[in-house]
Amino acid sequence: MASSDSAGAAGSEFNNGPLASSSIPAAVPERRKVALIAGITGQDGSYLTEFLLGKGYEVHGLIRRSSNFNTARLDHLYVDPHNSSKARMKLHYADLSDASSLRRWVDVLLPDEVYNLAAQSHVAVSFEIPDYTADVVATGSLRLLEAVRSSSSSSGKPIRYYQAGSSEMFGSTPPPQSESSAFHPRSPYAAAKVAAHWYTVNYREAYGLFACNGILFNHESPRRGENFVTRKITRAVGRIRVGLQTKLFLGNLSAARDWGFAGDYVEAMWLMLQQDEPGDYVVATDESHTVQEFLEAAFGYVGLDWKDHVVIDKRYFRPAEVDSLKGDSSKARKVLGWKPKVGFQELVKMMVDQDIELAKREKVLVDAGYIDAQQQP
- Give domain limits for the chain: 31-367
Percent of the chain clearing pLDDT 90 (strictly above)? 84
**pLDDT tens digit sequence for 110-158:** 999 999 999 999 999 999 999 999 999 999 999 999 999 999 999 999 9
Return the SS3 of 266: helix
Of the candidates 121, 126, 152, 166, the residue annotated as catalytic is 166
Within 10 A of 106 (CB to CB), how many other CB atoms are there?
Answer: 25
Residue range 263-288: mean pLDDT, rounded? 98
Closest CA relative to residue 212, chosen from 96, 102, 139, 117: 117
So what's the pLDDT on residue 66? Answer: 85
| Domain 31-367 top-level CATH class | alpha beta
Sign of CA dihedral 263, 345, 260, 331: positive
Of the candidates 47, 115, 161, 189, the residue annotated as catalytic is 189
Whether 362 is a known active-site residue: answer no
So what's the pLDDT on residue 87? Answer: 83
For 302, half-sphere exposure in the C-beta direction (CA atoms, 13 angstrom radius) is 25
Q: Which residues contact 309 (CB under 8 A, 6 or more apart)?
A: 236, 240, 246, 247, 248, 299
In one-letter notation, the amino acid at residue 144 is L
54: left (phi over 0), alpha (psi -120 to 50) or beta: alpha
Whether 13 is a known active-site residue: answer no
Model confidence at 6: pLDDT above 80: no
pTM: 0.89
So what's the pLDDT on residue 25? Answer: 54
Asked whether the beta carbons of 34 and 107 are under 8 A apart, the reply is: no
Model confidence at 3: pLDDT above 50: no
pLDDT category of residue 70 using cuts at 50, 70 and 90: confident
Model confidence at 346: pLDDT above 50: yes
105 strand-pairing partners? none
For the chain, what is the mean pLDDT?
92
CA–CA gap between residue 343 and residue 321 (Å, rounded): 26
The mean-pLDDT minimum among 93-97, 123-127, 298-302, 367-371 falls in 367-371
So what's the pLDDT on residue 376? Answer: 65
**pLDDT tens digit sequence for 8-52:** 433 433 344 433 444 555 555 578 999 999 999 999 999 999 999
Of the candidates 113, 168, 220, 362, the residue annotated as catalytic is 168
**pLDDT tens digit sequence for 295-335:** 999 999 999 999 999 999 999 999 999 999 999 999 999 99
For 269, half-sphere exposure in the C-beta direction (CA atoms, 13 angstrom radius) is 28
Residue range 169-193: mean pLDDT, rounded? 98
Model confidence at 2: pLDDT above 90: no
For 309, half-sphere exposure in the C-beta direction (CA atoms, 13 angstrom radius) is 26
Whether 265 is a known active-site residue: answer no
Percent of the chain clearing pLDDT 70 (strictly above)? 91
Closest CA relative to residue 221, chosen from 369, 367, 355: 355
